[in-house]
Amino acid sequence: MKILVTGAAGFIGSHLCEKLLADPQNTVVGVDTFIGPTPNSLKQVNLDRLVKHPRFTMLNEDLLTTDLEHLLQGIQIIYHLAGMPGVRSSWGKDFDPYVTNNILVTQRLLEAVKGKPLQKFIYASTSSVYGEKNGKVLEETILTPLSPYGITKLTGEYLCRVYHKSFDVPVIIVRFFTVYGPRQRPDMAFHRFIKQILEDKPITLFGDGTQSRDFTYVNDCVDGISAIVHTNHLVGKTMNIGGKERASVNETLSLIEQLTGKKAKITFLPQLKGEPKHTWADISKAQALLGYDPKMPLKEGLAEEIAYIQSVYQS
């Protein structure tokens, strides 16, 4: 199987490429334009093992301008993970790159694949499309994003659906819920908290810490979405990819303190605009269709992320 992964140098993308290459029948083409909040130095760390793999090709190209006809030659499956992430920076004048990379790039890629013998086009969406909801959210829940970022990702979903309906593009949508673990982006909460506490710096906490999330360990996430390759009858479906356990931010900080042996010095800042108070995924559809079975306990997953952060910043 020849698979294209966009955003391959990123957090989830690099893990996904490694997982796909574990199958000797797969060859993977990764593409990334090295934008966003993760420094190029950390993205190069993400790629360290991949670039040595004989069945992996890495391309540093912008999907908005690259020759897609050439890029897509022989491609059977696409995982479209590339995009501009993050709620905080999607407001105001910083909205432009979100439109460009989350909407225009997605439309250009969908336009390029219509009429081609593509087996699956997997679009990576986000729990941010749901907005503020009470209890577990099903995929059929009314979508009311709270941030410009969430709106651009939902627009990408709608683009996928109209290209599926009008041109039979074999679209599958997955919605990620707060993925964490080694290689997590440095702007994300766990990465910031761990780095700040290890450096004996105050932890910046937006809100009072009672907000809760459905935390998804990255290996669980890629185990789930990699199963799409060999699973039939998924085209047109949307699936939540959530975690094993939920926790509040205060509870996760307590776990990080236990694991690092350091007491956090917390600077409280106002709650961020555009962030829901709680997220909670109903993953029954992914369980039924993919055999999705997240296994990593939160404390063990945090220990893995702490070890990664210690390693990467020491080196």
- CA 86 – CA 305 distance, rounded (Å): 19
Position of tokens 């709270």?
Answer: 146
Q: Are 280 and 137 in contact (CB under 8 A)?
A: yes
Of 60, 12, 71, 51, nearest to 33 (Cα)?
Answer: 60
Position of tokens 């909205």?
Answer: 95
120 φ, ψ to 5°? -150, 140
Q: Are 54 and 82 in contact (CB under 8 A)?
A: no
- CA 80 – CA 186 distance, rounded (Å): 21
Give the DSSP H or E segment for 192: helix 189-198
Tokens, residue 82 = 């590339």
Q: In Å, how far are 25, 56, 136, 147, 226 from 272, measured between CA atoms?
A: 45, 39, 22, 10, 33
According to DSSP, the β-strands at 245-248 and 212-217 are antiparallel
Q: Are 17 and 8 in contact (CB under 8 A)?
A: yes
Residues forming the active site: 149
- CA 61 – CA 179 distance, rounded (Å): 25
- CA 175 – CA 310 distance, rounded (Å): 29
Per DSSP, the three-state class of 311 is helix
Tokens, residue 144 = 């009311």
- In the chain, the amino acid numbered 265 is K
